[in-house]
Structure 1
Amino acid sequence: MTEAQLLNRALQAVMNRHTGEDPHRPAWHLSPQVGLMNDPNGFIQLAGVWHLFYQWNPLACAHGAKFWGHWRSDNLLDWSHGPLALAPAEAYETHGCYSGSAVSDNGTLSLIYTGNVKFKDGRTAWQCLARINAAGEVTKAGPVISLPEGYSGHVRDPKVWRHNDVWYMVLGAQNLARQGKVLLYRGQTLQEWTLLGEMAGAHLNGLADFGYMWECPDLFPLDNKEVLIVCPQGLAAQEKAWLNTYQSGYFIGKLDYEAASFRHGDFAELDHGFEFYAPQTTLSDDGRRMLVGWMGVPDEDEFYQPTISQGWIHTMTCLRELTLEQGRLRQRPARELQQLRQQHAGLQNVAALLPELAIGQAELKIVPTGNWSACFGNLLWLRCSEEGLQLSRRNRRSGETEHRYWQGKVMALEILCDRSSIEIFINDGEGVMSARYFPAGPPTVVWHGEATLSVDYWQLRSCMVV
């Protein structure tokens, strides 16, 4: 199918989108106009403007040949649609313009992404380059890296950065023994790359078996260390950790650029909730390391979500700031989000005596003492005890109750609510639990227990995408 035909079909899908009342459409999180959205891509601030691209199938609520959609913002709050960035029209990307990153190449916004091609008996992948001019017009330069020898067709998700005036790239990969790896490349230009070797993965740096594929790698410096974010597939669930189908987490270490060696510590989960995957970071103009993730998990229960009847599925997480403190990543809501706050109420009482609060668009800051629980939208239970937090809901596919856990002493919570999602920040960003849920009506929170809670409550304004 030609690019013009693909663009016409995408435009038709947007024009035919549902326009009726949609109680689950987020008020201040990013979501697709139509179809399926997943990984954030090309997250960058360039000349003061934020760009966030995203994996998008505008033609169906299904994983198909992905396009790249495009949002822009001046303030990380209010976003506008940019022109469609990539459509899978070329021979090297016929089964999707898969995930990647964006950089400024002498002031030119440049996209590096995976072109995916499937055959009857396998698949292959190329790492591709495209450039966007000031008018938003995209020129594809085509493949710049072919499939390296010794790896399956599962090589994808390039993240590119500049270090000492040289380009570097990490790639998620699977070798022929079905072991997940991260490959490190170096380039003098964005079109000429040399494979330096495997910098991390299964059977490297003290790891044993550690998954059959590592997706969406992201390497960046923080507080004189390097942090490698990655999404390993194939990790066995533990009793109270690694409970999603695929995991998203990080290693902290030090990269030897010359030896392509990354000595690191243990793997730690980024988010302990039900929905979080494929995060991507960027460095802001004012020096903050910012993160956004997909509030979903592939190959789980996504296609039982009711928004499909409205013609769309999935949202992004809120924007988050990362810091490295006492050897662990902390995630805090981007400080810009405080500008969403409107009416405020301060409450303090025994949990069971606190009033029911509307949480369709709300922020809660809670200082707890003792054991207590709260029910959100009559669907999602949060229980706090000396052991930590338990988040529970009924699985939409099986009907069985499922749980996620954060273990440790809970001293403070910040909970961001947006119609069909909740993000729980624990102890000033020490932990996070993100979840989607789909209340039958305007959601409220109901409190239970004898513990005394201090609660700051704000209603939040909407952020429309125009």
Structure 2
Amino acid sequence: MEWSQEARYRTYESMTTEERLKLEGSVSASPWRQRYHIQPMYGLLNDPNGFVWFNGRYHLFYQWFPFGAVHGMKHWFHTESSNLVEWENKGVAMKPEYTFESHGIYSGSGFVHKNSLYLFYTGNKRDEEWNRHSSQCLAIMNSSGKITKRDEPIIKRQPNGYTEHFRDPKVWQVEDEFYMVVGAQRENVTGCILLYQSPDLIAWSLLGEIETNEMDFGYMWECPDYFTLQTHGILLCSPQGLKLAGDSYHNIYHSGVWVGKPLNVENGHFDHGDFQELDAGFDFYAPQTTLSPDGRRLLVGWMGLPEIEYPTDSEGWAHCLTIPRELSIKDGILYQQPVRELKEKRKNEARTTMNLSDEVRISSELSGDCFEMIGEIEVVSAKRAGLKLRVGKGEKTLLYLNMETQKVVLDRTNAGVAFGQAYGSIRQKHYSKNKIRFHIFMDTSSIEVFVNDGEMVFTSRLFPRKESQGIQFFAEEGTAKIDVVQWKYD
């Protein structure tokens, strides 16, 4: 379907009943609707925004285009949870109203101050020549949930020396001062992050760029996030334009972190190590973090990527968010683990232990399309050993240890309806040990794999037939031992 500019730049309130019912009917017939991930009612979901604990609940907003699976007029859609497990849709939180946001409420963050939730976002405007104009804007939600926007931006335009690619504000506090990072692009078409300071969250002054070791690392740095964790300073962002390097940067765009010493907010200097790609899978972008009431640093990402057609596009909807993750640092590496609250969903436990010798084996107790699973594999002499998931007629998703190449591998070559094939169907990371632990979260059309308690993560969408629910275990050219526990989800 070809979308005209007029069709792409409508607000939700202009949707007719007929249009809504058609979308709802198409989505309800989809075989790939998720069961426990945040997903749109219909239309396209992308970046998570405004993720925060406020007024006794988690609040999470996301970018939403209501009319179909394309990137058009972006709104903020609001969802809430008391436990990070069950989410309640609250509806459209913000839609374009003012001239400075005439072509979209773009991404941003939430910050709690004086019993109010301050929502910072980028206003997107296009002029008659279709040139982009970006500004940083503010809306405030009170304790009863009413949102009031400021009628002019708090930062009206990008500073001199930078292009209109200037977006995604994230705010934090140090003592009595507030700081904001904004993703930016220099006029020489390289990415960076700008740092601002404010005494009151309203009046902002530019401190300059965050000074990193990366002066030519992609052409735009989106969705920045800065926080401290276990005495470390963590700078997270989604740089666009990275070149493929070994097993890294195989997707169209990427997200990652620099782990270093705490940011010097006086001069913007950030002393850090190498960039760490956050996810080794196929579908992960634009993550955002927040603090839980008990002090955990939590992360949620968009389980999707821009500029790629997904199999649900023709059904009038696209994408979901990842499960929330807890972050920690170990030996300079950022670890991600599923939030502990998800254990509440565990039901119908089944276990199996197998000693495999150059064979494929099925467990009659284990199957499904919506489950949590922990599998521990010890390779004795096999060249490859692991799991086949969502197995059906001509379909399977492979997750295994390759001892010959010393790689852990996720292979979705035959996982179902193919998409994004220009970027390959295998993702892998170096791994030299003969023991590995997979913590798997399978939903109707996705898989998230946490390796060795979050040392690496593989996040991917999968689109198999509903009937493909088999689980198999294999060892090739030698022996291996596999221990598995599975919990079915409702």
TM-score norm. by structure 1 comes to 0.93
Native 8 Å contact 2:311 2:419 kept in 1: no
Separation (CA, whole Å) in 1 of partners of 2:108 and 2:369: 33
For 2:483, the equivalent position in structure 1 comes to 454
The match for 2:210 among 187, 199, 216 is 199
For 1:123, the equivalent position in structure 2 comes to 132
Native 8 Å contact 2:12 2:66 kept in 1: no
Separation (CA, whole Å) in 1 of partners of 2:167 and 2:97: 18
Separation (CA, whole Å) in 2 of partners of 1:444 and 1:128: 49
The match for 1:405 among 406, 428, 436 is 428
Structure 1 pair 398–332 and aligned structure 2 pair: CA distance change class (3 A): closer
Structure 1 pair 224–146 and aligned structure 2 pair: CA distance change class (3 A): same
Separation (CA, whole Å) in 2 of partners of 1:97 and 1:212: 23
Structure 1 pair 11–229 and aligned structure 2 pair: CA distance change class (3 A): farther
For 2:3, the equivalent position in structure 1 comes to none
For 1:312, the equivalent position in structure 2 comes to 317
CA RMSD of aligned residues (A): 1.9
Query: Counterpart amino acid of 2:450?
Result: F
Deviations 1:54-113 (A, max 9, x none): 000012210011000000111111111124111122100111111000111211111100
SS of the equivalent of 2:314 reads helix
Separation (CA, whole Å) in 2 of partners of 1:343 and 1:61: 36
The match for 2:385 among 358, 361, 372 is 372
Say whether residues 1:238 and 2:251 are aligned partners: no
Deviations 1:171-207 (A, max 9, x none): 000010001000111001121001101004xxxx333
Native 8 Å contact 2:221 2:238 kept in 1: yes
For 1:432, the equivalent position in structure 2 comes to 457
Separation (CA, whole Å) in 1 of partners of 2:227 and 2:13: 38
SS of the equivalent of 1:336 reads helix
Structure 1 pair 206–374 and aligned structure 2 pair: CA distance change class (3 A): same
Native 8 Å contact 2:69 2:314 kept in 1: no
Separation (CA, whole Å) in 1 of partners of 2:226 and 2:20: 35
Query: Counterpart amino acid of 2:112?
Result: S
Query: Counterpart amino acid of 1:372?
Result: A
Structure 1 pair 98–134 and aligned structure 2 pair: CA distance change class (3 A): same
Deviations 1:219-267 (A, max 9, x none): 0010111101111111100121111111100001221111111111100
For 1:360, the equivalent position in structure 2 comes to 369
Residue 397 of structure 1 and its aligned partner are, at CA, apart by 5.2
Residue 399 of structure 1 and its aligned partner are, at CA, apart by 8.5
Pairing 1:52-63 to 2, within 5 Å after superposition: 52-63=60-71
Say whether residues 1:184 and 2:195 are aligned partners: yes
For 1:227, the equivalent position in structure 2 comes to 234
Deviations 1:368-394 (A, max 9, x none): 011313222224222312313111223
User: Bigger shift: 216-225 or 385-394?
Assistant: 385-394
For 2:470, the equivalent position in structure 1 comes to 444
Say whether residues 1:417 and 2:442 are aligned partners: yes
For 2:296, the equivalent position in structure 1 comes to 288
Query: Counterpart amino acid of 2:214?
Result: L
User: Bigger shift: 231-240 or 30-39?
Assistant: 231-240
For 2:43, the equivalent position in structure 1 comes to 35
Deviations 1:398-453 (A, max 9, x none): 58952111212352110110010000000011110000011112333222214210
Separation (CA, whole Å) in 1 of partners of 2:16 and 2:320: 20
Structure 1 pair 189–15 and aligned structure 2 pair: CA distance change class (3 A): farther
For 1:136, the equivalent position in structure 2 comes to 145
SS of the equivalent of 1:92 reads helix
Query: Counterpart amino acid of 2:209?
Result: E
User: Bigger shift: 141-150 or 347-356?
Assistant: 347-356
For 1:327, the equivalent position in structure 2 comes to 332
Separation (CA, whole Å) in 2 of partners of 1:113 and 1:278: 14
Query: Counterpart amino acid of 1:309?
Result: S
Residue 294 of structure 1 and its aligned partner are, at CA, apart by 0.3
User: Bigger shift: 408-417 or 157-166?
Assistant: 408-417
For 1:278, the equivalent position in structure 2 comes to 286
Separation (CA, whole Å) in 1 of partners of 2:40 and 2:355: 41
Separation (CA, whole Å) in 1 of partners of 2:41 and 2:133: 30
Structure 1 pair 399–206 and aligned structure 2 pair: CA distance change class (3 A): closer
- Percent of pairs with identical residues: 40
For 1:253, the equivalent position in structure 2 comes to 260
Query: Counterpart amino acid of 2:224?
Result: P
Say whether residues 1:396 and 2:396 are aligned partners: no
For 2:347, the equivalent position in structure 1 comes to 342
Native 8 Å contact 1:174 1:180 kept in 2: yes
Separation (CA, whole Å) in 1 of partners of 2:451 and 2:388: 17
User: Bigger shift: 33-42 or 18-27?
Assistant: 18-27
The match for 1:104 among 102, 112, 127 is 112
Query: Counterpart amino acid of 2:373?
Result: L
Separation (CA, whole Å) in 2 of partners of 1:10 and 1:349: 55
Residue 14 of structure 1 and its aligned partner are, at CA, apart by 4.6
Native 8 Å contact 2:372 2:487 kept in 1: yes
Structure 1 pair 399–350 and aligned structure 2 pair: CA distance change class (3 A): farther
SS of the equivalent of 1:189 reads coil
Native 8 Å contact 1:379 1:437 kept in 2: no
Query: Counterpart amino acid of 2:474?
Result: H
Native 8 Å contact 1:291 1:321 kept in 2: yes
**Which sections of structure 1, spanning at least 5 residues, go unmatched?**
462-466
Native 8 Å contact 1:40 1:279 kept in 2: yes
SS of the equivalent of 2:196 reads strand
User: Bigger shift: 400-409 or 96-105?
Assistant: 400-409
SS of the equivalent of 1:207 reads coil
Native 8 Å contact 1:48 1:285 kept in 2: no
Equivalenced residue count is 451
SS of the equivalent of 1:309 reads helix
Deviations 1:290-326 (A, max 9, x none): 0000001112x3x2x2222332110100110001111
Separation (CA, whole Å) in 2 of partners of 1:447 and 1:11: 50
For 1:464, the equivalent position in structure 2 comes to none
Native 8 Å contact 2:63 2:77 kept in 1: yes
